[in-house]
């Protein structure tokens, strides 16, 4: 059974004059124990999608989906409170910019003990405080912080970014989630620290069978750590498939361009030669093209592209394009 | 190929504490010497605190060096002489959005360095701004736009326009490509390479993405704790690193360079 099954999820920014379709019919499925990458450039709606999954979008946004199942339960039909209970129990999220997301007025210890789930504690009420502290310490050990005594007393600004990110992960793990959504966990981080964080997430996936939805703007950063990848562009679904397929035989022109533009795939090219790049830039939300939103930048665009293409499935490799590269391999 | 930029024994140390006696110094950059030729790119890699940003600040003149000298075309750049340096050494920063003054239009932004550093009259300045905007792939009409009307990639192009408008010889790119989206990044790399060919620019690229460094640079300098660990041809060093630190750096980014 799929852990998370989303079909045709749309997110609309409500406004009196013209509502904006920020995310346009995106599908996403996650199996248990899977690491899925969600890749898209800035403004592609990947963070919005993550926020819609955990349900923290505010009144301005309207979420609609054909199917929104969490382990077989239809979340769209539940009341807000029921939904909150299920999601907060099973899903955790690591937000972007760990320094900004931790409370600057509280020590790490206070924030971490606050995050510990009261239901997991066994004991009388006078023992609970002590147990909370012990749980917090063991959480810190789990994410690879050995000097818990120093770390618990510090304020977020006294720690560096990688340590803050580890604390965020520890807080996310406190509820023992089944699905962890990591929204750009390594943005603006040194490459050494990036490796550490990714290795930590990978080991959690292996040891605890925790599914991870890894959100990133850079395709090449996540390829090493994911089993499957979903690519989005400007709020539309582009392509989904195994990492190997996406990287070696992308069917969609946009994925092809992403793969070609990464320095990794160009290591065979002579130095200082021109890289392959799509012309133009990402459209802003107020001026979205009709039909396939890649249209104006796409090298293969034709007249039919003014109608948004349907998702085609080919041996588990989904893509949405009228003129895919499928025949060229 | 003539040597454009020559750096001799450049170093920087900061004083820690305010005690008059028993003064302590923190050396951010040990004395280093290197040369950059026209049309060439020198990449500087290293972790945080390795002194690469300090080196960039020294070159552009934002910090005064403790020892050493910088020569451009055989002429010494005096520390503190900004007029001379602003013309020839320019810098592009990582976060282009915050380095542009939000209350000025692009035309006014680009007009400022011209007004201060050149004796052109208003008409010539206008023409030059128009030309430069076209050179970096923007339109002349963009002159009347404010920075918030542009996307991230376009803002980075504007900072590039601001850098090249004075016809400099050296441009320092301090993580200028890190915050861009991948498709815009390759556009930017193409643009930078084209400009290098046309104008004979020398780039000093500070980056931690070894994939870009490999593609973009001719020489590489690896810094660790203010010391030069390894220096030489990029292809040679990245394929056969000698020092332990370089090996570690490459190993950490292996998932970026190797094919799966």
* Cα–Cα dist A48/A26, whole Å: 11
Record the tokens describing residue A252, joined without a space. Answer: 């969609």
Q: What is the pTM of this model?
A: 0.81
* Cα–Cα dist B31/B8, whole Å: 8
- Kindly state whether B195 is in contact with chain A, defined as any CB-CB distance less than 8 angstroms: no
- The full set of domains in chain A, from first to last, is 4-105+155-267+276-286+312-328 (3.40.50.300)
* Cα–Cα dist B186/A220, whole Å: 13
Higher pLDDT, A261 or A30: A30
Q: In what order do the strands lie in the sheet with B67-72?
A: B24-37, B3-16, B67-72, B75-76
**Interface with chain B: mutation pick from A193, A263, A297, highest number of B CBs within 10 Å:** A263
Interface contact flag, A275 B234, Cβ < 8 Å: no
Interface contact flag, A41 B185, Cβ < 8 Å: no
* Cα–Cα dist B204/B219, whole Å: 10
Q: What percent of chain A has pLDDT over 90?
A: 5
pLDDT at A268: 66
* Cα–Cα dist A273/A184, whole Å: 30
Record the tokens describing residue A236, joined without a space. Answer: 């539309």
Record the tokens describing residue B234, joined without a space. Answer: 């990029």
For residue A102, which of A191, A163, A183 has the smallest C-alpha distance?
Answer: A163
| Predicted ipTM beyond 0.85 | no
Task: Give the nearest partner residue to A281 out of B153, B234, B260, using CB atoms.
Answer: B153
Interface contact flag, B216 A218, Cβ < 8 Å: no
Q: Which mean pLDDT values do the consecutive 10-residue runs of chain B (260 residues) have?
A: 83 78 80 87 84 84 84 81 80 81 90 87 90 84 85 82 87 82 81 86 85 85 87 86 85 57
Q: Are residues B176 and B155 in contact, defined by beta-carbon separation less than 8 angstroms?
A: no
- Kindly state whether B235 is in contact with chain A, defined as any CB-CB distance less than 8 angstroms: yes
Quickly list DSSP for A2-53. Answer: -SEEEEEEEEEE--SS--EEEEEEEEEEE-TT-EEEEE--TTSSHHHHHHHH
Q: Which residue of A has its CA nearest to B193?
A: A272
Record the tokens describing residue B37, joined without a space. Answer: 């030729």
* Cα–Cα dist A166/B32, whole Å: 36
Distance between B126 CA and the closest CA of chain A, angstroms = 26
Q: Which long-range contacts (CB under 8 A, 24 or more apart) does A162-167 make?
A: A162/A189, A162/A190, A162/A193, A162/A196, A162/A197, A164/A98, A164/A99, A164/A102, A165/A94, A165/A98, A165/A189, A165/A193, A165/A197, A166/A140, A166/A197, A166/A200, A167/A98, A167/A102, A167/A108, A167/A111, A167/A112, A167/A140, A167/A143
pLDDT at B258: 46
Interface contact flag, A224 B187, Cβ < 8 Å: no
pLDDT in tens, A181-198: 998 887 767 777 777 788
Continuous H helices in chain B: 52-60, 82-88, 96-99, 106-117, 122-135, 152-164, 182-199, 210-216, 234-239, 244-252, 254-257
Interface contact flag, A281 B151, Cβ < 8 Å: yes
Task: Give the nearest partner residue to B186 out of A191, A261, A267, using CB atoms.
Answer: A261
Interface contact flag, B47 A267, Cβ < 8 Å: no
Which residues on chain B are in Cβ contact (under 8 Å) with A188?
178-179
If you search the block for the tokens 């320094």, which residue do you land on? A99
For residue A298, which of A239, A217, A223, A233 has the smallest C-alpha distance?
Answer: A233
* Cα–Cα dist B209/B256, whole Å: 8
If you search the block for the tokens 């999220």, which residue do you land on? A93
Contacts of A296 (CB under 8 A, 6+ apart): A280, A283, A289
Task: Give the nearest partner residue to A224 out of B153, B212, B260, using CB atoms.
Answer: B260
Kindly report which listed range (A133-142, A174-183, B134-143) carries the lowest average pLDDT score: B134-143
Record the tokens describing residue B231, joined without a space. Answer: 């220096």
- Kindly state whether B95 is in contact with chain A, defined as any CB-CB distance less than 8 angstroms: no
Task: Give the nearest partner residue to A224 out of B153, B182, B255, using CB atoms.
Answer: B255
Q: Which residue of B has its CA nearest to A282?
A: B151
Distance between B204 CA and the closest CA of chain A, angstroms = 15
pLDDT at B257: 46
* Cα–Cα dist A311/A321, whole Å: 7
Task: Give the nearest partner residue to A263 out of B48, B212, B218, using CB atoms.
Answer: B212
Record the tokens describing residue A205, joined without a space. Answer: 């996936």
pLDDT at B14: 84
- The full set of domains in chain B, from first to last, is 3-259 (3.40.50.300)
Interface contact flag, B260 A225, Cβ < 8 Å: no
Higher pLDDT, A81 or A265: A81
Q: Are residues A218 and A51 in contact, defined by beta-carbon separation less than 8 angstroms?
A: no
pLDDT at A105: 92
Interface contact flag, A277 B214, Cβ < 8 Å: no
Q: Are residues B224 and B245 in contact, defined by beta-carbon separation less than 8 angstroms?
A: yes
- Packing angle between helix A108-115 and helix A125-142, nearest 10 degrees? 110
**Dihedral Cα A293, A299, A305, A306, nearest 10 deg:** 60
- Helix/strand/coil for A312: strand
CB-defined contacts A:B, below 8 A: 103
Which residues on chain A are in Cβ contact (under 8 Å) with B183?
41, 257-258, 261, 277-278
For residue B47, which of B253, B212, B189, B257 has the smallest C-alpha distance?
Answer: B253
Distance between A167 CA and the closest CA of chain B, angstroms = 21
Distance between B68 CA and the closest CA of chain A, angstroms = 30
If you search the block for the tokens 């030059």, which residue do you land on? B128
- Kindly state whether B233 is in contact with chain A, defined as any CB-CB distance less than 8 angstroms: no
Mean pLDDT, chain A, rounded, equals 84
Q: Are residues A297 and B206 in contact, defined by beta-carbon separation less than 8 angstroms?
A: no
Which residues on chain B are in Cβ contact (under 8 Å) with A258?
182-183
Q: Is the dihedral of CA B127, B132, B133, B134 positive or negative?
A: positive
- Packing angle between helix A191-208 and helix A161-173, nearest 10 degrees? 20
**Interface with chain A: mutation pick from B41, B152, B182, B194, highest number of A CBs within 10 Å:** B182
Record the tokens describing residue B247, joined without a space. Answer: 């090996």
Which of B 132-161 lie inside 8 A of A, CB atoms? 151-154
Q: Are residues B137 and B118 in contact, defined by beta-carbon separation less than 8 angstroms?
A: no
Interface contact flag, B186 A276, Cβ < 8 Å: yes
Provide the pairing of β-strand A312-314 with A317-319.
Answer: antiparallel
């Amino acid at each position: 059974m799929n852990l998370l099954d989303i079909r045709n999820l749309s997110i609309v920014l409500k406004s009196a004059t013209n509502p904006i379709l920020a995310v346009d019919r995106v599908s996403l499925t996650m199996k248990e124990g899977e690491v899925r990458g969600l890749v898209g450039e800035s403004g592609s709606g990947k963070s919005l999608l993550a926020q819609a999954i955990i349900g923290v979008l505010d009144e301005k946004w309207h979420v609609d989906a054909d199917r929104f199942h969490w382990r077989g339960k239809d979340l769209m039909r539940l009341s807000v409170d029921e939904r909150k209970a299920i999601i907060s129990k099973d899903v955790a999220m690591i937000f972007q910019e760990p320094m900004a997301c931790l409370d600057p007025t509280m020590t790490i210890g206070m924030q971490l003990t606050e995050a510990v789930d009261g239901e997991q504690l066994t004991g009388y009420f006078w023992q609970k405080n002590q147990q909370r502290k012990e749980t917090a310490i063991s959480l810190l050990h789990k994410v690879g912080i050995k000097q818990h005594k120093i770390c618990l007393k510090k304020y977020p600004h006294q720690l560096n970014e990688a340590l803050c990110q580890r604390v965020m992960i520890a807080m996310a793990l406190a509820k023992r989630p089944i699905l962890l959504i990591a929204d750009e966990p390594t943005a603006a981080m040194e490459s050494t620290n990036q490796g550490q964080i990714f290795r930590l997430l990978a080991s959690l996936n292996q040891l605890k069978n925790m599914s991870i939805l890894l959100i990133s703007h850079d395709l090449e950063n996540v390829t090493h750590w994911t089993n499957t990848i979903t690519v989005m562009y400007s709020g539309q679904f582009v392509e989904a498939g195994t990492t190997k397929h996406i990287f070696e035989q992308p069917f969609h022109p946009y994925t092809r361009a992403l793969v070609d533009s990464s320095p990794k795939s160009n290591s065979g090219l002579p130095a200082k030669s021109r890289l392959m790049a799509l012309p133009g830039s990402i459209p802003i939300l107020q001026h979205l093209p009709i039909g396939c939103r890649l249209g104006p930048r796409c090298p293969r665009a034709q007249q039919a592209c003014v109608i948004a293409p349907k998702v085609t499935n080919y041996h588990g490799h989904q893509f949405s394009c009228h003129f895919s590269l499928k025949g060229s391999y | 190929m003539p040597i454009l930029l020559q750096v001799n024994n450049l170093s920087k140390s900061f004083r820690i504490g305010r005690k008059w006696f028993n003064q302590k110094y923190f050396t951010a950059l040990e004395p280093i010497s290197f040369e950059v030729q026209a049309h060439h790119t020198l990449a500087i890699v290293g972790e945080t605190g390795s002194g690469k940003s300090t080196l960039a600040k020294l070159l552009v003149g934002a910090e005064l060096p403790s020892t050493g000298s910088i020569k451009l075309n055989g002429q010494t750049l005096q520390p503190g002489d900004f007029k001379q340096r602003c013309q020839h050494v320019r810098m592009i920063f990582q976060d282009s959005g915050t380095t542009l003054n939000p209350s000025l239009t692009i035309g006014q932004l680009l007009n400022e360095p011209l007004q201060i550093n050149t004796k052109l009259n208003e008409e010539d300045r206008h023409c030059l701004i128009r030309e430069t905007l076209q050179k970096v792939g923007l339109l002349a009409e963009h002159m009347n736009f404010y920075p918030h009307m542009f996307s991230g990639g376009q803002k980075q192009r504007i900072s590039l326009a601001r850098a090249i408008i004075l016809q400099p010889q050296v441009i320092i790119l301090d993580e200028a490509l890190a915050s861009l989206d991948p498709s815009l990044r390759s556009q930017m790399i193409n643009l930078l390479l084209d400009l290098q060919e046309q104008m004979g620019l020398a780039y000093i690229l500070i980056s931690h993405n070894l994939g870009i460094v490999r593609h973009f640079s001719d020489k590489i300098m690896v810094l660790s704790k203010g010391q030069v660990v390894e220096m030489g041809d990029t292809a040679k060093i990245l394929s056969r690193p000698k020092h332990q630190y370089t090996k570690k750096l490459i190993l950490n980014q292996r998932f970026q360079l190797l094919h799966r």
